[in-house]
């Protein structure tokens, strides 16, 4: 919050114009910062006779800040405004304790822009990155996310995930007059796009591994059913409509199969459907609730929630069924598990003295670590590079999305301008 307050008048003006352009967008409030975050100065790009509609440097700085790994200097603390390597006085940047410096210029190019940016290591006094990218006016935000990805990867060695998207569900009103909607947005909450509305519940959106489709559960027929919607065309297919619960769709890593929970045989069991042939294989056989399947990144194992012990806990089994093994033993409520991209960590919802919180369990040590500080947290969804987890939480009586770094050290919330927001799902890499 402090950082926001420290913005210069110029920036506030800039933000006001951005907000006016996209009023449905989610905003960001940083709620916890990492003390060890790397200080980086992202100098506003010099406009060479142009005034692009997006403040590229601001988008880059906010991306880096949200990762929890970087602490961008506020613009008021920038000691000078270099636009290229020749203008840099290293001693100045050492004095303000910046470890890295990003400079750049924007020029007109055809109908769009040419963006030149460079990344410098202050201690080593050397250039780490330099690149020229072109962009139309509409592409400026996505180009800025690209630049943030390049900087992030250069410094951390981890692939950036700033060009990814999220899906989420909103609800407005009180039963029986609730309006539900399914949205997709950039990972920073911008560029929201409504892809479905209904007066019946929508839940459990899941991105296909190629990033082209969303599977979700919709009650629009009066009964729950699983649908798959192509994002580019809006064209969709109803994949299931069995008697009872049709829930928790989860794509296999190769996109050919979908695990799901169906209660057509009397109580919820885990099934796998071949998406092309619709052939169905039942994997579990218990009188308990078996739901929330999730595939290990290598596709060999399915994680799921079951209350066969009397309380919901996470279990694993072979992706073809069998070899069931209980995974969680800490506390009496562990559910909604998702593998991190390296397959070594599972993110889940656990019930603690405080309430329902997002946690991670290390699969080697079995140790469970609570990541969030609030009490009604659910639906953790992991960024494809494993660095961040987005989840649903409550602010007062309002459902909002929260995000926390996978190490738990930094967090932020994305309040929506209206309605209850829930059920986030993070896309795979889209670039």
Partner 1 sequence: MQFSSYAKTLAVALSLAVVAGCSSGGGTQDGSDTTGMTSGSSGSTSGMGSSSGASGQGMGQQAPSENRVYFDFDSDAIRPEFESMLNQQARYLQSNPSTSVVLEGHTDPRGTREYNLGLGERRANAVRQYLSIQGVSPSQMEVVSYGEERPAASGNSEQAWAQDRRVVIDY
Supply the minimum distance, in Å, between the C-beta of residue 44 and partner 1.
32
CA distance 290 to 72: 45
Q: Does 195 bind partner 1 (CB under 8 A)?
A: yes
Segment near partner 1 (CB under 8 A); pick from 35-43, 193-201, 322-330, 410-418: 193-201
Q: Does 197 bind partner 1 (CB under 8 A)?
A: yes
Per-residue binding string, partner 1, 314-333, x by CB under 8 A, is: ------------------xx
Q: How many CB atoms lie within 10 A of CB 427?
A: 23
- DSSP codes joined into one string, 36-98: TPEEEEEPPPEEES---SS-HHHHHHHHHHHTSSEEEPPGGG-S----SGGG--HHHHHHTT-
Q: Which of residues 136-175 bind partner 1 (CB under 8 A)?
A: 174-175
Strand partners, 213: 230
> CB-wise, 88 or 259, nearer to partner 1?
259
Q: Does 209 bind partner 1 (CB under 8 A)?
A: no
Q: Long-range contacts: 265-269, Cβ < 8 Å, 24+?
A: 268/244
Residues 6+ apart with CB under 8 A from 396: none
Contacting residue, 30, 133, 178, 327, with partner 1 by CB under 8 A:
178
Contacting residue, 218, 316, 328, 361, with partner 1 by CB under 8 A:
218
Q: How far is CA 314 from CA 54, 293, 347, in A?
A: 44, 10, 11
Alpha-carbon Rg for the chain in angstroms: 23
CA distance 390 to 399: 13
Supply the minimum distance, in Å, between the C-beta of residue 266 and partner 1.
3
Supply the minimum distance, in Å, between the C-beta of residue 25 and partner 1.
14
Per-residue binding string, partner 1, 379-418, x by CB under 8 A, is: x--------------x--x---------------------
Kindly give the pairing relationship between strand 46-48 and strand 100-109: parallel
Supply the minimum distance, in Å, between the C-beta of residue 120 and partner 1.
41
Q: Does 22 bind partner 1 (CB under 8 A)?
A: no
Segment near partner 1 (CB under 8 A); pick from 8-16, 69-77, 78-86, 220-228: 220-228
Q: Which of residues 275-294 bind partner 1 (CB under 8 A)?
A: 278, 280, 287, 289, 291-292
Segment near partner 1 (CB under 8 A); pick from 46-54, 120-128, 152-160, 244-252: 244-252
Using N-to-C axis directions, what is the helix angle for 140-156 and 56-66, rounded to 10°?
A: 50
The site that binds partner 1 (CB under 8 A) totals a number of residues, namely: 76
Segment near partner 1 (CB under 8 A); pick from 63-71, 113-121, 350-358, 411-419: 350-358
CA distance 319 to 300: 5
Residues 6+ apart with CB under 8 A from 124: none
Contacting residue, 327, 352, 376, 429, with partner 1 by CB under 8 A:
376
Supply the minimum distance, in Å, between the C-beta of residue 319 and partner 1.
19
Supply the minimum distance, in Å, between the C-beta of residue 4 and partner 1.
27
Give Dmax (Cα) for the chain.
72
Q: Does 263 bind partner 1 (CB under 8 A)?
A: yes
Q: Does 229 bind partner 1 (CB under 8 A)?
A: yes
Q: Does 311 bind partner 1 (CB under 8 A)?
A: yes
Segment near partner 1 (CB under 8 A); pick from 101-109, 133-141, 143-151, 351-359: 351-359
CA distance 404 to 388: 6
Q: Long-range contacts: 323-327, Cβ < 8 Å, 24+?
A: 324/284, 327/303, 327/361, 327/363
């Amino acid at each position: 919050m402090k950082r926001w307050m420290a913005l210069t008048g110029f920036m506030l003006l800039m933000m006001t114009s951005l907000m006016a352009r996209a009023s449905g967008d989610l905003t960001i409030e940083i709620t916890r910062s990492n003390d060890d975050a790397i200080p980086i100065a992202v100098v506003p790009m010099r406009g060479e006779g142009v005034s692009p509609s997006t403040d590229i440097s601001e988008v880059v700085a906010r991306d880096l800040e949200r990762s929890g790994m970087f602490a961008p200097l506020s613009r008021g603390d920038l000691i000078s405004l270099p636009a290229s390597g020749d203008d840099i006085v290293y001693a100045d940047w050492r004095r303000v304790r910046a470890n890295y410096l990003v400079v750049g210029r924007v020029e007109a190019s055809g109908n769009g822009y040419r963006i030149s940016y460079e990344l410098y290591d202050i201690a080593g006094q050397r250039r780490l990155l330099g690149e020229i990218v072109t962009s139309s006016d509409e592409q400026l935000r996505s180009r800025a996310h690209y630049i943030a990805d390049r900087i992030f990867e250069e410094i951390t060695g981890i692939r950036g995930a700033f060009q990814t998207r999220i899906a989420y569900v909103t609800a407005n009103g009180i039963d029986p007059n609730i309006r539900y909607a399914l949205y997709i947005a950039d990972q920073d909450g911008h560029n929201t796009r409504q892809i479905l509305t209904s007066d019946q519940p929508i839940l459990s959106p899941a991105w296909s591994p190629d990033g082209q489709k969303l599977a979700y559960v919709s009650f629009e027929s009066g009964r729950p059913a699983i649908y798959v919607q192509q994002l580019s065309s809006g064209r969709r297919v109803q994949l299931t409509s069995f008697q009872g619960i049709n829930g928790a769709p989860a794509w296999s890593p190769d996109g050919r199969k979908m695990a799901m929970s169906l209660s057509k045989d009397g109580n919820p069991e885990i099934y796998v459907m071949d998406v092309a042939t619709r052939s169905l294989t039942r994997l579990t056989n218990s009188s308990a609730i078996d739901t929330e399947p999730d595939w290990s990144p290598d596709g060999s194992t399915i994680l799921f929630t079951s209350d066969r012990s009397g309380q919901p806990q996470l279990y694993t089994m072979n992706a073809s069924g069998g070899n069931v093994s209980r995974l969680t033993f800490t506390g009496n409520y562990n559910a909604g598990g998702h593998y991190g991209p390296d397959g070594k960590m599972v993110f889940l919802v656990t019930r603690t003295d405080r309430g329902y919180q997002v946690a991670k369990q290390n699969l080697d040590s079995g140790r469970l670590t609570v990541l969030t500080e609030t009490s009604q947290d659910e639906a953790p969804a992991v960024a494809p590079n494993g660095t961040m987890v987005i989840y649903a939480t409550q602010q007062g009586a309002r459902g909002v999305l929260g995000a926390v770094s996978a190490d738990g050290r930094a967090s932020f919330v994305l309040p929506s301008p209206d309605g209850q927001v829930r059920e986030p799902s993070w896309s795979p890499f889209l670039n």
